[in-house]
Amino acid sequence: MSGIIIVRKSLAFASIFIIISVILSGCVGLQTDASGKDSGKINLFKKKTDSNKTDTASRSNDTSAPSPVSYLEANKGSSYLNWTWENPADKDYSHAIIFIDGKFKKNVSDPLNYYNLTGLKYDTQYRIGIRTVDINKNINPEWVNSSISTLPKTVDKLFPDTIWYLDNTTGSNWINWTWENPADSDYSYANVWIDGMFAANVSKPRNYYLKTGFAPYSTHRISIRTVDKNKNMNPNSVIGNATTTGSEPGDITPPGPITDIQSEADTTWIRWWWTNPDDPDYSYANVYVDGKFAANVTKPTNYYKKTGLLPGTEHNISVRTVDTSRNVYFFSVNDTRYTLP
């Protein structure tokens, strides 16, 4: 009996040892009843692992930064720069950090691969710096940089079209000229001259000019050039003649112009002289200096002296002839002279 007992005890201890070893290795478990007590039965099972925890641990252990962006390029205008690039191929790539001239601007998240900067000053250089970041906040220490300048300011050198359909209505002492303004969007005004003298700048949308104070049955010439907002002036003038109403006078022929105008100057004055026309009914020369009426120089006088000027300054004289019937020669004779320094 004692031998059998010893064998059973040995078997029992061996079984217990095997069961404990299996439990510790994770291959079996002890089955419990509803009360939680050991039922004495052995339940074989595979030990479970939390895959989510494993993945999270794997991600949290990621210390590798993503690759930098590549193929950085830019399109530009006078007030904007638009950079584009190729995002890295890293699966965990998250976004690009954008700096302009050393200052943070924004994060550009995958899959976006551009940054547009507007409201810039023309002909000015700007520098972009880009670093990449992955989903675990690993930042690539390598900067990808680019410096580029905006385009120069666009300068408009195109002049507007001429006016169209110049027409007029007249009275005994007035003429009203009308026209159609050019269609150019930047058209600003019409530069109007009457009988060779500046009259007015007629601003858009106005399209007429009324001039009074003419003699009855007298003919007058208008000359119009167009100007845009950038001061570009059309070199071509539109010219038209018109005659006031009234009975025809006996003499409607103007005298000839003065000729051979010459000048001399000192520091504060300029003296001009000329040859008067040979017309027997020539009466006087109508003199303007620097666009302002100066005097009527009656024949046989043939000079005009302007005083009170500053040294080293430019001055212009404009002379038109008038006869005894008040006929005025159409064009002015002009001359420019500087005072001495």
98 is a domain residue:
yes
248 is a domain residue:
no
Same domain, 224 and 291: no
User: Strand, helix or coil at 304?
Assistant: strand
Domain count, the chain: 4
Same domain, 220 and 187: yes
Same domain, 273 and 239: no
Which of 149, 183, 202 is where one domain is finished? 149
- pLDDT tens string, the chain, 341 residues long: the values are 444 344 444 444 444 444 444 444 443 444 444 344 444 444 433 444 444 434 444 455 888 999 999 999 999 998 999 999 999 999 999 999 999 999 999 999 999 999 999 999 999 999 999 999 999 999 999 999 999 999 998 777 899 999 999 999 999 899 999 999 999 999 999 999 999 999 999 999 999 999 999 998 899 999 999 999 999 999 999 999 999 987 666 778 899 999 999 999 999 999 999 999 999 999 999 999 999 999 999 999 999 999 999 999 999 999 999 998 889 998 999 999 999 99
**Mean pLDDT over the full length of the chain:** 85
Closest C-alpha among 330, 259, 326 to residue 296:
326
Per-residue confidence (pLDDT) for residue 325, from 0 to 100: 85
Evaluate the omega torsion of the peptide bond into residue 300 and state whether it is cis, within 30 degrees of 0.
Answer: yes
Same domain, 74 and 29: no
263 is a domain residue:
yes
95 is a domain residue:
yes
Same domain, 228 and 267: no
Q: Are 216 and 245 in contact (CB under 8 A)?
A: yes
pTM (two decimals): 0.38
310 is a domain residue:
yes
Same domain, 179 and 230: yes
Range of the domain at 81: 70-149
Same domain, 121 and 171: no
Per-residue confidence (pLDDT) for residue 38, from 0 to 100: 44
Per-residue confidence (pLDDT) for residue 246, from 0 to 100: 79
Per-residue confidence (pLDDT) for residue 155, from 0 to 100: 76
Give Cα separations from 213 to 166, 216, 223, 286 (angstroms): 21, 9, 18, 16
Percent of the chain with pLDDT over 90: 73
Tens-digit pLDDT profile for residues 46-65: 444 444 434 444 455 888 99
Query: In CATH, what number is assigned to the domain containing residue 97?
Result: 2.60.40.10
Per-residue confidence (pLDDT) for residue 59, from 0 to 100: 53
Same domain, 265 and 334: yes
Same domain, 34 and 98: no
Q: Are 312 and 339 in contact (CB under 8 A)?
A: yes
Tens-digit pLDDT profile for residues 270-326: 999 999 999 999 999 999 999 999 999 999 999 999 999 999 999 999 999 999 888
Q: Tokens representing 235?
A: 């070199």
User: Strand, helix or coil at 19?
Assistant: helix
Per-residue confidence (pLDDT) for residue 258, from 0 to 100: 96
Closest C-alpha among 152, 105, 164 to residue 130:
105
Q: Which residues contact 62 (CB under 8 A, 6 or more apart)?
A: 92, 134, 136, 138
Same domain, 91 and 121: yes
Which of 149, 173, 195 is where one domain is finished? 149
Same domain, 328 and 267: yes
179 is a domain residue:
yes
59 is a domain residue:
no
136 is a domain residue:
yes
Which of 122, 149, 176 is where one domain is finished? 149
Same domain, 125 and 75: yes
Task: Measure the CA–CA gap between 137 and 187, rounded to whole angstroms.
Answer: 58
